[in-house]
Amino acid sequence: MTIHTLLVANRGEIACRVFRTCRALGIATVAVYSDADAGALHVREADTAVRLPGASPADTYLRGDLVVAAALAAGADAVHPGYGFLSENAPFARAVRDAGLTWVGPPVEAIQLMASKTRAKELMAAAGVPLLAPVDPAAATTEDLPLLLKASAGGGGRGMRIVREIGDLPGELTAAAAEAAAAFGDGEVFAEPYVERGRHVEVQVMADDRGTVWALGTRDCSLQRRHQKVVEEAPAPGLDDALRTRLHDAAVAAAQAVGYRGAGTVEFLLSADGRPYFLEMNTRLQVEHPVTEEVFGLDLVALQLRVAEGGPLPAAAPPEPRGHAVEARLYAEDPARDWQPQTGALLTFEVPDEPGLRLDTGYTAGDTVPVHYDPMLAKVVAHAPTRPEAVRLLARALERARIHGPVTNRDLLVRSLRHPDFTGGHLDTGFYDRHLATLTTPGDETARRLAATAAALAQAATRPATGPARFGAWRNLASGPQVRRYRAEPDGTPYEITYRSGRSTLLPDTGERVVVAAPDHVTLETGGLTHHFAVTTHGSRVHVDGARGAYTFTALPRFTDPAERTEPGSLLAPMPGTVVRLADGLAPGAAVEAGQPLIWLEAMKMEHRVLAPAAGTLTALHAAPGHQVEVGALLAVVTDPAATAPAATDSAAPAATDSAVPEENA
């Protein structure tokens, strides 16, 4: 059966990625979109698009009946699920098949067998695949700790908890089951030993219906935050030939055990002593598939389509790998603030386009990052002959990227790729647990102040379009000092830049020589070195991009507006979202403890707990389940009865939060 028109039952980056291959193969494309995605890139790139009324995933991308109806209405003859959403949903795959459409994925039966992690482990044990023995939570003792709780039907870290104290086990089981039920409609949770400092290594498989199964090398995905991958690479570094062969053989055995067809991934956990244990099989295309494509010179989506049409794999064995590839997931999130997702307009988005670099994205400059979905902006991939070369290329490309708008994890990625543990191949899933504080500290103070000076000079050079900037007109003497105040984002460090207007130039009081001062670029000389800065202003935000990094500043008024003062102890919404629940018995007059979860917000597919900033009394409550709140909205006020009433502060910080893990959807 030949596919002529393909609907992608997904959004964002993966939809755009599948469309790219379809264009190369001459296949027409259909997008589906929610109201929040009406202007999204994947909608603009598709030949046809069908609206799914609503904004939340539950009302749109998770409605299999609406997606199948959209495919039929658009005249599609096949459906590709992408990753996340309905990609591993057996009833959806069956509905696609029953509607007479070609399902670009594995057999429904294989999805069912691997959908339950408990059932999958039983199958893998029978096939001789090494795995961790499950632990009965009801019978667990301190000897079994630490334990890892996992959702049986889960993915992307949802419903996952680490238990280190036996007294915490009942509460964590309840929380994991509730999160799993909300995310997947299945609250089954199981427990297994938690492997400290383990590595996450996986094998890409591709199978056809002739019995051919390819094991396409290994990937290391150990750099994770909240059990979700951040940096991936292929091949996994540091594995000897015997271990690599063992992993390949186990992955092929796993695929054969369920009669697999199409693209899939078998995930393993490597203990510190190098012993592999089966984790799960993802019956879909993985987010990190580009690193395998770059190393093997393949298009996995093209192979998925070929197999779905009934064709065989091109050969009995895969091509030989070449070189090394590294991928970084660029997120709109603030790692220094508990990985809080960010939203808003993506004002500038430019990643270097050079040999060896690949950008997979669902955004362009001018798009808006919505609140309803995973905050991944793009995947940036580097391929080079060796691992050090690929890592260096990727770090430098990210450093040179111009990204203006929401806070991103770009600086964290650059620092991670240059960290000695990463460059030395000393990888494990606890990397960010150990190094996050160091990786998120503000950068070089001298470089930041120099960037703030460039921001001030660029703004000083701005004049109405009726004529050129004039520095001092006909005066021979420098004018009096002028001051501009900025707040560095996202950490809020204040800067006060003083300069004077001299004859045909600007004179910073810090002593730099001004070579060029224009509204969009500034060149400064200091200490015998010349520094070039590109400067972009959007409202009160000033973005400064230079060779030593990228910086964002908020221009501040000379005096603080008294109307902006906020009552001490105020808990402000750290992001736009929906209040999903309150702590039991929470009402004005209730006593609270420091760090106690008070309010649960749901935003961008993550659940955020708003924590009490200190012990005290709840004196005001402005949140209720179901309320939609904007960033900065006042949720509650906690007053410390032992403290004397302080003077009003300039502003209240967003409430402290912690977050559950997002599912892998762009």
- What's the pLDDT tens digit per position in 63-95? 999 999 999 999 999 999 999 999 999 999 999
Q: What percent of the chain has pLDDT over 70?
A: 90
The CB-side HSE value for 442 (13 A sphere, CA atoms) comes to 16
Reported as a pLDDT band with limits 50, 70 and 90, residue 468 is very low
Give every CB contact of residue 81 below 8 A, 6+ residues apart in sequence: 8, 9, 10, 87, 89, 92, 93, 104, 105, 284
Q: Give the pLDDT confidence of 568-586 residue by residue, as tens digits.
A: 788 888 777 888 889 988 9
Residue at 451: amino acid letter: A
3-state SS class at 646: coil
Select the more confidently predicted residue: 568 or 21.
21
- Which of 248, 252, 181 is closest to 211 using CA atoms? 252
Reported as a pLDDT band with limits 50, 70 and 90, residue 545 is very high
Residue at 480: amino acid letter: G
Reported as a pLDDT band with limits 50, 70 and 90, residue 121 is confident
Range from 358-362, 387-391, 592-596 carrying the lowest mean pLDDT: 592-596
What predicted TM-score, i.e. pTM, was given to this entire model? 0.83
Cβ-defined contacts of 522-527 (< 8 Å, 24+):
522/454, 522/457, 522/458, 522/461, 524/450, 524/453, 524/454, 524/457, 526/450
Alpha helices in 419-566 (DSSP H): 420-423, 431-439, 445-460
Select the more confidently predicted residue: 367 or 478.
367
So what's the pLDDT on residue 605? 61
Tell whether the model's pLDDT for residue 124 goes beyond 90: no
Q: Give the pLDDT confidence of 44-62 residue by residue, as tens digits.
A: 999 999 999 999 999 999 9
Tell whether the model's pLDDT for residue 504 goes beyond 60: yes
Reported as a pLDDT band with limits 50, 70 and 90, residue 120 is confident
- Which of 262, 222, 263, 268 is closest to 244 using CA atoms? 268
Most confident of 29-43, 103-117, 266-280, 606-620: 29-43
The residue-averaged pLDDT of 340-365 equals 96
Q: Give the pLDDT confidence of 524-539 residue by residue, as tens digits.
A: 999 999 999 999 999 9
Residue at 214: amino acid letter: W
| C-alpha separations of 452 from 405, 446, 550, 553, 662 in Å | 18, 10, 11, 7, 35
Rounded CA gap, 478 and 509, in Å?
A: 12
So what's the pLDDT on residue 118? 75
Tell whether the model's pLDDT for residue 152 goes beyond 80: no
Contact 79, 71 (CB under 8 A): yes
Contact 665, 601 (CB under 8 A): no
So what's the pLDDT on residue 380? 98
So what's the pLDDT on residue 206? 98
Rounded CA gap, 188 and 168, in Å?
A: 18
Residues in the chain: 666
User: How many other CB atoms sit within 10 Å of the CB of residue 165?
Assistant: 10
Rounded CA gap, 394 and 13, in Å?
A: 19
Tell whether the model's pLDDT for residue 143 goes beyond 70: yes
Token couple for 408: 């991103």
Token couple for 206: 């591709």
Environment class of 20 (CB within 10 Å of its CB; exposed 0-12, middle 13-18, buried 19+): middle
Residue entry with tokens 């190393």? 295
Helix axes 12-25, 300-308, angle to 10 degrees: 70
- 94 is an active site residue: no
So what's the pLDDT on residue 471? 42
Q: Give the pLDDT confidence of 394-450 residue by residue, as tens digits.
A: 999 999 999 999 999 999 999 999 999 999 999 999 999 999 999 999 889 999 999
The residue-averaged pLDDT of 346-373 equals 96
Select the more confidently predicted residue: 193 or 180.
193
Contact 275, 200 (CB under 8 A): no
The residue-averaged pLDDT of 147-159 equals 74
Reported as a pLDDT band with limits 50, 70 and 90, residue 335 is very high
Environment class of 477 (CB within 10 Å of its CB; exposed 0-12, middle 13-18, buried 19+): exposed
Residue entry with tokens 């879909």? 284
- Which of 24, 29, 154 is closest to 80 using CA atoms? 29
Range from 430-434, 608-612, 642-646 carrying the lowest mean pLDDT: 642-646
3-state SS class at 163: strand
Reported as a pLDDT band with limits 50, 70 and 90, residue 161 is confident
Reported as a pLDDT band with limits 50, 70 and 90, residue 155 is low
Rounded CA gap, 642 and 613, in Å?
A: 14
| C-alpha separations of 571 from 593, 597, 653 in Å | 14, 12, 8
3-state SS class at 416: helix
Task: State the DSSP string of 362-398.
Answer: S--TT-EE-SSS--EEEEEEEEESSHHHHHHHHHHHH
Please report the domains of the chain, with CATH numbers, ordered by start residue.
5-104 (3.40.50.20), 133-193 (3.30.1490.20), 198-439 (3.30.470.20), 445-556 (3.30.700), 564-659 (2.40.50.100)
| φ, ψ of residue 421 in degrees (nearest 5) | -65, -40
- Which of 655, 646, 647, 595 is closest to 621 using CA atoms? 655
Token couple for 8: 């992608």
3-state SS class at 660: coil
Reported as a pLDDT band with limits 50, 70 and 90, residue 647 is very low
Contact 127, 333 (CB under 8 A): no
φ/ψ bin of 185: left (φ > 0), alpha (ψ from -120 to 50), beta (otherwise)? left
Select the more confidently predicted residue: 166 or 658.
166
Q: Give the pLDDT confidence of 199-241 residue by residue, as tens digits.
A: 999 999 999 999 999 999 999 999 999 889 999 999 999 999 9
Catalytic residue among 63, 199, 284, 306: 284
Listed in order, strand segments (DSSP E) in 452-596 are: 482-489, 494-502, 505-508, 513-517, 521-526, 529-538, 541-546, 549-556, 570-572, 577-582, 591-592
Tell whether the model's pLDDT for residue 183 goes beyond 80: no
Rounded CA gap, 469 and 462, in Å?
A: 7
How would you label 530-550 residue by residue, b for 16+ Cβ within 10 Å and e otherwise?
ebebbbbbeeebbbbbbebbb
Rounded CA gap, 341 and 665, in Å?
A: 14
Token couple for 655: 């409430």
Contact 110, 258 (CB under 8 A): yes
